[in-house]
């Protein structure tokens, strides 16, 4: 009889309870697919008496996750607590020092400490797997580290935060303001305890930094990700984008260029007919472009008990089978410290600004763009009240630096009310 693979699970929230349920309900299937039984030795969480909808009395209990990580009857430490530091980091480090394999769903931990943890895993002869940390049930980490390992990756992009996609699609489908859609998402329990992790792009930026490390053989560099959230997107932007054949998405893009590594997480316009443009609700999508395979589109649920627990078990089964893959797809010592790109690849931009009703105002805006080297592709002035007039502009390809110079000059003309909105138009 093959010895079971024994798990210690730290964190019994939605995902942790989901993992326990799958192991209890599908024991025979997991054994058949992995070649050995998979069992739970011990668990840990902050509240021992909370009802989690699954029996836990057959497992040993540890109040301290570090103690759980060190137990002799734990082969794989499953970290589902969350947080970039604190108990999650301490327990993960303890498990690796003890030579135990680790499976985690903790994107923040890896975005901030991924290189050090990858090095610690290799030093101990252990593996650190994190499929559940990126895009929930979508097997994108496995696709990059294994299925597409024979490709030079040219670009990775995607919608990686289902809450933001829900808010933006609800704004469009129901005609809601950002504030109304935000409140609806909050009422449904979609938002993190700190909502800015979602709507500020931080959660998705963590995920993007991990995919960039795998795709381009670089050290994780979350601090180099350009972040912009969706808080300034108005229903007017949604409607105007649709009128021009685009959808607004919080889009992550990473690519290696001659200027360095680009990592951007920001609201963008994408063609409405593209796979990303057709993505609705809380679903995630990752698009990978490789020199041999062309374009691969992966779509699926980005969060939730079942999808995320499914990703955790995928990593556990790989370990049970004896699959040993470096954390980011190649030895940690070979990962380069990438130079961040100072300017993004040129692209067309959508601009929305409120023009004061003054003689020559439009000419001053056009002059500001021209002097910065930004050319206008098309422009539309909407009907206006007595004092202001909304103006919509789509530029030809330009750099963000040139556009920022133009926007600063516009504001300086005193003919623009408030701060203009600028959204990159990403070609998909």
Residue 207 annotated as catalytic: yes
Max Cα–Cα distance, the chain, nearest Å: 87
3-state secondary structure of 164: helix
- Return d(Cα 168, Cα 124) in angstroms, integer: 45
Check if the beta carbon of residue 391 is closer than 8 Å to that of residue 380. yes
Give the CA distances from residue 112 to residues 106, 311, 371, 372, in Å, rounded to whole numbers and listed in that order.
Answer: 10, 21, 41, 37
Buried-exposed string 173-204: b where 16+ CB fall within 10 A, e elsewhere: eeebebeebbebbeeeebbeeebebbbbbbbb
| Residue count (the chain) | 428
- Return d(Cα 349, Cα 427) in angstroms, integer: 11
Crossing angle of helices 27-34 and 14-25, rounded to 10°: 80
- Return d(Cα 5, Cα 57) in angstroms, integer: 19
Given the residues 70, 89, 142, 207, select the one marked as catalytic: 207
Phi, psi of 393 (to 5 degrees): -130, 135
- Secondary structure element (H or E) that encloses residue 182, with its range: helix 178-187
Which long-range contacts link 410-414 to residues 24+ away (Cβ below 8 Å)? 410/353, 410/364, 410/365, 410/368, 410/369, 413/361, 413/364, 413/365, 413/368, 414/356
- Return d(Cα 298, Cα 135) in angstroms, integer: 10
For residue 427, give both structure tokens: 């070609």
- Return d(Cα 417, Cα 405) in angstroms, integer: 17
Give residues with Cβ within 8 angstroms of 129, minimum separation 6: 101, 102, 103, 104, 141, 315, 318, 319, 325, 327
- Return d(Cα 52, Cα 29) in angstroms, integer: 23
Please list the active-site residues. 207
């Amino acid at each position: 009889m093959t010895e079971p693979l024994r798990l210690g699970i730290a964190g019994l929230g939605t995902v942790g309870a989901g993992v326990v349920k799958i192991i209890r309900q599908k024991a025979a299937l997991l054994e058949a697919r992995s070649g050995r039984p998979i069992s739970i030795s011990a668990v840990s969480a902050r509240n021992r008496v909370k009802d989690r909808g699954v029996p836990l009395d057959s497992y040993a209990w540890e109040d301290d996750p570090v103690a759980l990580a060190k137990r002799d009857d734990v082969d794989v430490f499953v970290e589902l607590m969350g947080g970039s530091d604190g108990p999650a980091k301490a327990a993960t480090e303890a498990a690796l020092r003890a030579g135990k394999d680790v499976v985690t769903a903790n994107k923040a931990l890896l975005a901030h400490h991924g290189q050090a943890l990858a090095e610690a895993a290799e030093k101990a002869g252990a593996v650190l797997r994190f499929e559940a940390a990126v895009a929930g049930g979508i097997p994108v980490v496995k696709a990059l580290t294994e299925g597409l390992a024979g490709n030079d990756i040219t670009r990775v992009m995607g919608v990686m935060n289902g809450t933001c996609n829900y808010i933006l699609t609800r704004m469009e489908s129901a005609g809601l303001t950002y504030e109304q859609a935000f409140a609806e998402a909050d009422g449904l329990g979609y938002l993190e305890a700190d909502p800015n992790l979602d709507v500020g792009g931080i959660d998705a930026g963590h995920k993007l930094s991990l995919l960039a490390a795998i795709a381009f053989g670089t050290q994780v560099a979350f601090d180099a990700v350009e972040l912009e959230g969706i808080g300034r997107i108005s229903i007017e932007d949604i409607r105007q984008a649709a009128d021009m054949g685009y959808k607004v998405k919080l889009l992550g893009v990473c690519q290696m260029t001659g200027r360095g590594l680009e990592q951007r997480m920001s609201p963008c316009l994408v063609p409405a007919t593209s796979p990303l443009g057709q993505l609705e609700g809380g679903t995630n999508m990752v698009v990978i472009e490789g020199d041999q395979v062309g374009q691969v589109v992966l779509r699926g649920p980005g969060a939730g008990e079942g999808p995320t627990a499914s990703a955790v078990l995928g990593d556990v089964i790989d370990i049970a089978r004896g699959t040993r893959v470096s954390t980011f797809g190649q030895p940690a010592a070979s990962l380069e410290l990438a130079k961040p790109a100072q300017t993004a690849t040129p692209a067309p931009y959508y601009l929305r600004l409120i023009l004061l009703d003054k003689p020559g105002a439009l000419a001053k805006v056009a002059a500001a763009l021209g002097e910065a080297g930004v050319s206008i592709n098309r422009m539309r002035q909407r009907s206006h009240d007595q004092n202001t007039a909304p103006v919509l502009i789509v530029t030809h390809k330009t750099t963000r630096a040139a556009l920022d110079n133009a926007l600063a000059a516009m504001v300086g003309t005193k003919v623009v009310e408030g701060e203009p909105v600028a959204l990159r138009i990403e070609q998909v």
